[in-house]
Amino acid sequence: MHVRLIVAIHNNHPNGLSVHNYKAGGSMAQAMNKIAISPNSDAHDFFYVTTQQAFDFLASRNFNVVLQNNQQVQDDGSLSVWASQQQIDYINVEARIRHTATQLAMLSAVWAYMQQYYQV
């Protein structure tokens, strides 16, 4: 069986990682290719993806989304880097701790993505 999609789920803290870390000048900016920031979303609730397809799908639904720069990202052993090297679609759901409703909405969007692009 060939893996075509990996979905990771993480919680972060109010003072932890946010979509703003990936903006130009941010601590994680070198890993970013594109970024979509929704004015209606908490900065700590965002997707980190490795494909343009996933970026477009999730950004069109008004989520914060970061598209990894697969050519320039540092290989630090991250699953996202490995997945991109293997041409595996990778979606990381990053949600602020205790943002359960938002995390469920994000997972629902991932399910819709899977239904559209994968035979599930």
- Domain chopping of the chain, boundaries: 10-118
d(CA 98, CA 52): 29
- Residue 10: is its pLDDT beyond 90? yes
- The tens digit of pLDDT for each residue in 81-114 reads 999 999 999 999 999 999 999 999 999 999 999 9
d(CA 96, CA 56): 22
Q: Residue type at 44?
A: H
d(CA 22, CA 33): 9
**pLDDT, average across residues 58-81:** 96
> What local confidence, expressed as pLDDT, does residue 120 receive?
73
| Cα 26 versus chain centre, distance | 17
- Residue 1: is its pLDDT beyond 80? no
Cβ 68 vs Cβ 31: under 8 Å: yes
